[in-house]
Amino acid sequence: MSGGDSAVRTACVVGSGGREHALAAVLARTAEVVVSPGNPGIGGTSPEGHTVTSVATPPEDVEADLYVIGPEAPLVDGLADRLRAAGKLVFGPGADGARLEGSKAFMKELLAEAGVPTAHFGVFTEPGPATAFLRSLRGPWVVKTDGLAAGKGVLVTDVLDEAVADVEAKLSGGAFGEAGRRVVVEEGLTGPECSLLVLCDGERLAPLAPAQDFKRRDDADGGPNTGGMGAYSPVPFVDDALVASLVEEAVAPLVAALRARGIDYRGVLYAGLMLTPDGPKVLEFNVRFGDPETQVVLPRYDGDLCSLLAEVAAGELRSVPRFAPEAAVCVVCASEGYPEKPRTGDPVAGLEEAGAVEGVTVFHAGTAADPARPGGVVTAGGRVLGVTAVGPSLAEARRRAYRAVGAVSWPGMHHRTDIARAAAGDPSTEKAEAAR
């Protein structure tokens, strides 16, 4: 398979969030796209004339030349294996590779074995030893649920007692059910964060443009950790040389460790990195595209994404991904109560006006159709919209994104006002950002 000459006529994207909306939009530059189950924002015809359709049909029953699995849960559950067993071309690891994200304990053990720099850690099922380990660390303290927790199972705190209480809540099964009955306790690292998505065809690696995600719910990195409240790309402090060294030191050894276990990983490895004073360290690996990182990385892709992902899926990654110099900024608009207890069912106003702002695409993340309500779209999740703009600079992309955010509303809508602010060059926030 070669770039620009895609054999992919129809692509099936699995998932229903903002990441899948962005994947569908970029894949639809060159192919018809079916999204299972999709959402009310995903549909219509791309500017290139390809149809995009949300379908209730399960992915196993959709006919397509390429399957791209968005979220971690179906990957951990073995959807890629089932599709491959049926002879399909699939982008996304099997259940063996997806365990990297399905168990943070497994991931940390693999990182340690592969010699990838990461935070000092311990894995515990009993509160006593976990608490003793916490007390042996200098703060800040970090407690992570072992299993899948939709980006919400991580506590980072400067208060030791809070970490101790969190260990007890998680291990008692009260906080995250079975997923929480094992915890990873870590030393807290400091430094700016960056997300690096790296394609892997089982052996060869190709990094995509770096992005920065904003994990905390509120401005100036206040409030609880979330799945991500916004993102931007490119990242001024992560240049090509740094990307190359991150691939070499953080990703390649991990892939070698996977291969040594007989795992043929075909998909994307998402490295969550912190650039600490002691050098870059891996916070986590995910086995899928980041959300909302995808919304700012893929629109900048300069090429035929169907061909690129098909090469990965076929184990024949040859293309070198290139990105347009334009910048992209995504601001997540969330429901009241996110992440603990998001309120749903509120009518969303202003979608058309927001989408009309130059360079803007409003990716739907947690919406549902409700023809009985004004506008026909209601909130249906914690993260509702990813309002995304491209522009000639980060500053301009940011201005466009926030102009569009100003057009959408529903009761209790919440968004951060400082996404990409420091990176876009607003000196009043340099200090806050330096602490990131």
Pattern 190-229, ligand GLY, x by CB under 6 A: -----------------------x-------------xx-
Which among 221, 188, 215, 230 has a CA at the least distance from the CA of 339?
215
Q: Which is nearer to ligand AMP, 231 or 306 (CB)?
A: 231
Nearer to ligand GLY, 40 or 228 (CB): 228
Q: Which of 37, 98, 38, 92 is nearest to 66 (CA)?
A: 92
- Burial (CB < 10 A; 0-12, 13-18, 19+), residue 86, is exposed
Residues numbered 258 to 287 that lie near ligand GLY (CB under 6 A) are 286
Residues contributing to the site for ligand AMP (CB under 6 A): 119, 142, 144, 154, 156, 186, 188-189, 193, 215, 225, 272, 283-284
Residues 6+ apart with CB under 8 A from 79: 14, 59, 69, 92
- CA gap 69, 78 in Å, rounded: 11
Containing 308, the helix (H) or strand (E) segment is helix 305-314
- Cα 284 to chain centroid distance, Å, stands at 12
For residue 291, the partner it binds in ligand GLY, ligand AMP, none, with Cβ less than 5 to 8 A by kind, is ligand GLY
Q: Which CB, 38 or 386, lies closer to ligand GLY?
A: 386
The region that residue 10 occupies, defined by phi over 0 for left and psi between -120 and 50 for alpha, beta otherwise, is: beta
We find the least distance from the C-beta atom of residue 10 to ligand GLY, in angstroms, to be 26
The residue with its CB nearest to ligand GLY is 228
Q: What, of ligand AMP, ligand GLY, none, does residue 225 touch, CB below 5 to 8 Å by kind?
A: ligand AMP
Q: Cα(285)–Cα(363) distance, rounded to whole angstroms?
A: 24
The mark string for 132-171 relative to ligand GLY (x by CB under 6 A, - otherwise) is -------------------x--------------------
Pick what 293 binds: ligand AMP, ligand GLY, none; C-beta below 5 to 8 Å, kind-dependent.
Answer: ligand GLY
Q: Which residues contact 240 (CB under 8 A, 6 or more apart)?
A: none
Binding site for ligand GLY (CB under 6 A): 151, 213, 227-228, 286, 290-291, 293
